[in-house]
A and B are shown apart, each in its own frame.
Chain A
Amino acid sequence: MAWADFVTIAPLIGAILVAVAVVLVDMAAPGRRAPALVVSLGGLAVVALLVLVTGQTPATAFGGSYKVDALTTFLDLLFLSIAALTILFAPDYLEPRDLPIAEFAAVLIFAISGTMLISASADLLVLFLGLELMVLPGYLLAGFAKRDALSTEGAIKYFLLGSFSSAIFLFGLAFVWGLTGTTRIAGVAGALGAIAAGSAPLSAGLAIGLAFLTTGVAFKIAAVPFHYWTPDAYQGSPTPVTGYLSVGPKVGAFALIIRLFIEALGPLQADWLPIIWVLAALTMTLGNLVALTQTNVKRMLAYSSIAHTGYMLVGLAAWAGGRIEGLEGLLYYGAAYTFMNLGAFAVVAALQRRPGVTSSLDTFAGLGRREPVLGVLMVLFLLSLTGIPPTAGFFGKAYVILAAVQAGPPVNVLAVIAVLNAAAAAFYYLRVVVYMYMRDPTSETEPARHGGLVWTGLWVTTALTIALGLFPETLAEIVASAARAVS
């Protein structure tokens, strides 16, 4: 254990220190939002700087169990943006409901440090630690409105299924460890490479391990048929939390998939490709079909986030089909999805500023007239989620589809399934636009006033949603170098 090791993990330590600092500041000045916000946002900015600095040189630490590469840097910056944007959106929603802001920020940053640990793991145990550090604060956040029955119900479901899937996942890890004799990801890959090179079929133990790992991960990313916890957890949680849950743990779980399936289990890609193929097809299709019937926007976005998981799985399948573009597309999609989905949830949260306002479609009736700017931004996010150019969502989809087409059969069939799903998705996304612009308000509600923080966050997500669609070059290069780091 050397000094250099601590330099390498400086961003992770930094994130945890920021979370602790927020708690301490809140103890010093209880209930005041300004100090907590300054410390958390400023701290996240410093951590981002640390990520950039340490990301300059790929390195490993603690005997090779922790590593920093281009992928780590990319994902960490994405996670930090998720945390910062969520902290910008949350106060306007939490304050009127008497929910503590400082605690929210602290728990959130703890969760984010979990995702950062995942993105930097080079060891299966560290990976599992990161996973648990990511999801445990998530359960707290889901039940953050503790006097609200729906929130509690969602949190308990999330917790039970989450713990259950973690256990399954750990069981799978044990099999892999038992068969390969190591928990180092590089070592696992080496051992599996030797097995894959032989002509013998997969041993029963390895197959069982693979099945458990896939199941555990599928729960975490909410892939069909392991998605049942999602709608309740999403609908019950306070809206800014839902926004976070729909992107943070999801991208985090995909980081885990990349480290585990691509890096460690990469040699077995031919074996897990069929499973991922089926998961992707089911997830896209079922997520979209059920979203079609929703009348609550939060629940609709929950199901649609399942569908987006499916599109990202197409990228994974394309990687397994032999195209590195699949991983690039997955990463691009992850970034695009993060910003457009956070933006959409931010609009929902802003509309619900007054306690008691539901997220049903009726809340959106006549929004275009009541709050023109918010209406236009929501249209933009919805178009991006649909995949209409020139938005981030469109380029993300095009990237994934391109990779799927390149991978050839059977993955190119997923490309067709994906676009047909995107067309179906247009129906429910545009239904919100119908309510906003083509229906009159159901009740005369005064337009709510939105604070500067919300607007800042909205403009950032808007700018990124447009920029990633119009000028994809920069991010495309970044994800390409990130993808090269692992495969």
Chain B
Amino acid sequence: MDISGLPLLSIITFLPLAGAILIAFIPRGSLGAIRATALGVALVTWVFSLFLLLGFAPTHTPFQFVEVADWIPVFGIRYQLGADGLSVALVVLTTTLTWISILASFGPIRERVKEYMISFLILEVGMVGVFVALDLFLFYIFWEVVLVPMYLIIGIWGGANRIYATIKFVLYTLVGSLLMLVAILATAFTFQAATGSWSGAFDFESLRNFAASGGFSGTFQLFAFLAFFLAFAIKVPMFPFHTWLPDAHVEAPTAGSVILAGILLKLGGYGFIRFALPLFPDAAHTLAPAIIVLSLIAIIYGAIVALVQPDLKKLVAYSSVSHMGFVTLGIFIFQAQGLQGAILQMVNHGLITGALFLLVGVIYERTHDRSIARMGGLGAPVPVYAATFGFFVFASAGLPGLSGFVGEFLVLLGAFVYSPPVAAVAALVMILAAGYLLWMFQRVAFGELSEFLRGLGDHLTDMRPAEILTLVPLGTLVVVFGLFPGLILDLVQGTVATVLHDVGTGTAINLLFWQ
């Protein structure tokens, strides 16, 4: 099939929207039709995203599948999409996790299925859009589009304390993103003031060239970078902006957690790599030491807090803080292995943590409980579940041969080149990670079957085929990427080279005398 003539990125972005509109017209009672349509649309979107993988030529110019159309010409705002290797990787991750999440929601979501599926598909529009928008205004719009469906998903279908959690999620995100809006407008205006024309003022490529030619002054870079940083750091989330995450994760329905951990956290990392570093290299260099320290704190703090969590979901949530610390660490050491590792870690964390949340969801559906203390001895009654859980726990702990290892290893390698003490601190935490994960697994899976689980009797059934089906693709990818990380590294080599080149032009600003 010849796909070269199709506006592939627009199709992938807006197909879910068409699906959402379609579902709006299905009567609310026909659950089967609603679920089938949602899954069908998500699968078709996924198939289209696979064409990106086939069609992408890593050796060509960074952005491919480019689509450009005028949108708001008075301000030079254009509908402009394009994908480089990083975009392709994250888009495919998004479309994959979306259909898995929708499939995983068939069982647990029985109330207001129609609204749920519509929210989920609109969420996909926003997520894919963020990864492929090359116009800053358009990027911001997709960025905010993500917010509303996630707010509804946590707030309507979440746990007992869902309203508090979802409002906290929205307010945190909104503060960051609105300041980013100011920074985007200021960036565009700086460009307009210098060139005398709005044309290209929101276009990423032209802004990038403008930045490379030293168009943004040091002071401007610092303010703009800080605004972008806040938006992205809240999304990642970096310490100390992470406090919304455990609440949101604990209260969100399973599929919401999967998407939250799998994709939404990646929006922050993507934003750093795509926009913050190339546009404001001087500021990035200036603030990198501080950000590296924050990343190390996140890595250590997340791991220590995970160690003492009594709740399975909270443990996985805090482990996310720790794992995402590796991502920001890898990004801000400005070094090839580090950046490669950060990107790998983003993809892997999406797969592994997504799977862990699915698995927590599976057990929660049977026990309606997530406390580690009440579990125990799951290995005997539900062997398939325990084995799958064990597999992903090991992957998350960074067992060599599974994908979790490669990303962290590359980040550590890069960190070692940057500064051995930094690498040493980060590496120590890998032991902690093994500690909290394996200890948790031991308490959940080994030993005598706990009183609580025994009380459940026949309700404690092993995984159903549909549940296994959601985990098989993730497990396969974890093994494949563990053995052949080159699959991703080849894809993103262009991105890594370009970003490092862009940020390499920057020099730290003297903060004491900046004007």
A and B physically associate: yes
Interface set of A (CB-CB < 8 Å, partner B): 368-369, 383, 387-390, 394, 398, 401-402, 405-406, 412, 415-416, 419-420, 422-424, 426-427, 430-431, 433-434, 437-438, 472-473, 476-477, 480
Q: Does the CB pair A402–B189 fall under 8 Å?
A: yes
Q: Is the beta-carbon distance between A472 and B156 smaller than 8 angstroms?
A: no
Q: Which residues of B contact A434 (CB under 8 A)?
A: 155, 163, 167
Cα of A437 to Cα of B119 in the assembled complex, Å: 13
Q: List 8 A-B contacts (CB under 8 A).
A: A369-B112, A401-B181, A405-B186, A405-B189, A419-B182, A424-B171, A434-B155, A438-B156
The 8 A-B residue pairs whose C-beta atoms are closest, nearest first, are A419-B178, A389-B141, A423-B174, A402-B185, A423-B175, A405-B186, A438-B155, A389-B144
> Given that A423-B174, A477-B74 are known contacts, is A437 also in contact with B185, CB under 8 Å in the complex?
no
Contact with A along B445-477 (1 / 0, CB 8 A): 000000000000000000000000000000000
* Cβ–Cβ contact B72 & A388, under 8 A: no
**Which residues of chain B come closer than 8 Å to A431, judged between CB atoms?**
167
Asked if A420 and B155 sit within 8 Å, CB to CB, the answer is: no
Q: Chain A residues near B212 (CB, 8 Å)?
A: none
Instruction: Find chain A residues with CB under 8 A from B181 CB.
Output: 398, 401, 419
A420 engages B175 (CB within 8 Å): yes
Residues on A with beta carbons closer than 8 Å to the beta carbon of B71: 473
Shortest B140–chain A CB gap in Å is 7
> Residues of A contacting B174 with CB < 8 Å?
422-423, 426
Interfacial residues of chain B within 118-176, with CB under 8 A of chain A in the complex: 137, 140-141, 144-145, 147-148, 151-152, 155-156, 162-163, 167, 170-171, 174-175
With an 8 Å Cβ cutoff, the count of chain B residues facing the other chain is: 34
Given the interface pairs A423-B175, A437-B156, the reply to whether A473 lies near B185 with Cβ below 8 Å is: no
Also in contact, A415 and B182, with CB within 8 A (given A388-B147, A389-B140, A438-B162): yes
Question: Which residue of B72, B115, B170, B178 contacts A422 across the interface (Cβ within 8 Å)?
Answer: B178
Whole-angstrom CA separation of A383 from B181 in the bound complex: 16
Known contacts A423-B178, A473-B72; is-contact A405 B155 (Cβ 8 Å): no
Residue in B closest to A412 when the chains form the complex, CB atoms: B186
B179 at the A interface (CB under 8 A): yes
Q: Which B residues are in CB contact (< 8 Å) with A437?
A: 115, 152, 155-156
CB distance from A424 to the nearest CB of B (A): 8
For residue B263, give the distance in angstroms from its CB to the closest CB of chain A.
19
Interface string of B175-219 (1 = CB under 8 A from A): 100110110011011000100000000000000000000000000
Which chain B residues lie closer than 8 Å to A473 at the CB level? Answer: 71-74
Chain B nearest CB: distance from A336 CB in Å? Answer: 14
The CA of A369 and the CA of B112, in the complex, are separated in Å by 9
> Known contacts A388-B148, A427-B167, A438-B162; is A480 also within 8 Å of B74 by CB?
yes
Contact of B185 among A401, A420, A427, A476 (CB under 8 A): A401
Secondary structure of the A contact surface, majority rule? helix
* Known interface pairs A433-B152, A437-B152, A476-B74; 19 further A-B residue pairs with C-beta atoms within 8 A, sorted by A's residue number: A388-B144, A389-B140, A389-B141, A389-B145, A390-B141, A401-B185, A405-B186, A419-B178, A419-B182, A420-B178, A422-B174, A422-B178, A423-B171, A426-B174, A430-B151, A437-B115, A437-B155, A472-B72, A473-B71
Q: How long is the Cα–Cα vector from A174 to B295 in the complex, in angstroms?
A: 64
Query: A402: nearest residue on chain B (CB-CB)?
Result: B185
Instruction: Determine the residue in chain B with the shortest Cβ distance to A426.
Output: B174
> In the assembly, what is the distance between CA of A454 and CA of B181, in Å?
35
Across-interface contacts of B112 in A (CB, < 8 A): 369
| A437 to B185 CA separation, bound complex (whole angstroms) | 34
In the complex, chain B residues whose CB is within 8 Å of the CB of A394: 141, 144
Question: With A388-B144, A405-B182, A406-B189 in contact, is A430–B72 under 8 Å at CB?
Answer: no
Contacts of B170 in A (CB 8 A): 426, 430
Smallest CB–CB gap between B393 and chain A, Å? 34
Residues on the A chain within 8 Å of B140, using CB: 389
Residue of A nearest to B158 (CB): A438
State the CA gap A431–B164 with chains docked (Å): 11
Q: Please measure, in the bound complex, the distance between the C-alpha atom of A430 and the C-alpha atom of B169, giving whole angstroms.
A: 12
What A residues does B162 contact at CB under 8 A?
438
Nearest CB on B from A415, distance (A) = 5
Q: For A477, give the chain B residue with the smallest CB separation.
A: B74
Contacts of A402 in B (CB 8 A): 75, 185, 188-189
Shortest distance between the CB of B199 and any CB in chain A (Å): 14
A420 to B137, CA, bound (A): 19
Residues of B within 8 A of A406 (CB): 189, 193
Alpha-carbon separation in the docked complex, A401 to B148 (Å): 22
B331, chain A: closest CB distance, angstroms: 26
Chain A hits for B141, CB < 8 A? 389-390, 394
Contact A416–B179 (Cβ < 8 Å):
yes
> When chains A and B are docked, how far (Å) is the Cα of A426 from the Cα of B140?
17
A412 to B185, CA, bound (A): 11
B481 to chain A, nearest CB (A): 35
Q: Shortest CB–CB separation between residue B231 and chain A, in angstroms?
A: 11
Verify A430–B167 contact, CB threshold 8 A.
yes
Contact pattern, B 274-304, Cβ under 8 Å of A = 1, otherwise 0: 0000000000000000000000000000000
Shortest B457–chain A CB gap in Å is 32
Q: Which residue of B lies closest to A425 (CB)?
A: B174
| B residues less than 8 Å from A422 (CB atoms) | 174, 178
Q: Closest approach, in angstroms, between the C-beta of B118 and any C-beta of chain A?
A: 10
| Chain A residue contacts of B144, Cβ below 8 A | 388-389, 394
Bound together, the chains give a CA A383 to CA B144 distance in angstroms of 11
Check if B179 sits within 8 Å of A419, measured CB to CB. Answer: yes
Q: A390 to B141: give the CA distance in the assembly, Å.
A: 6
Quick one: closest B residue to A435, CB to CB? B163
**C-alpha spacing A330/B304, complex, angstroms:** 51
Q: How far is the CB of A339 from chain B (nearest CB, A)?
A: 19
Q: Which of A369, A388, A398, A438 contacts B163 (CB 8 A)?
A: A438
CB-contact partner of A476 in B72, B155, B179, under 8 A: B72
Report how far A217 CA is from B174 CA in the complex, Å. Answer: 33
Are the C-beta atoms of A398 and B145 separated by less than 8 Å?
A: no
- Provide the bound-state CA to CA distance between A434 and B154, in Å: 11
Given A398-B181, A416-B182, A473-B74, is A390 in contact with B145 using a C-beta cutoff of 8 Å?
yes
Say how far A475's CB is from chain B's closest CB, in angstroms. 10
CA distance A172 to B74 in the complex (A): 39
Q: Which residues of A contact B72 (CB under 8 A)?
A: 472-473, 476
Say how far A198's CB is from chain B's closest CB, in angstroms: 31
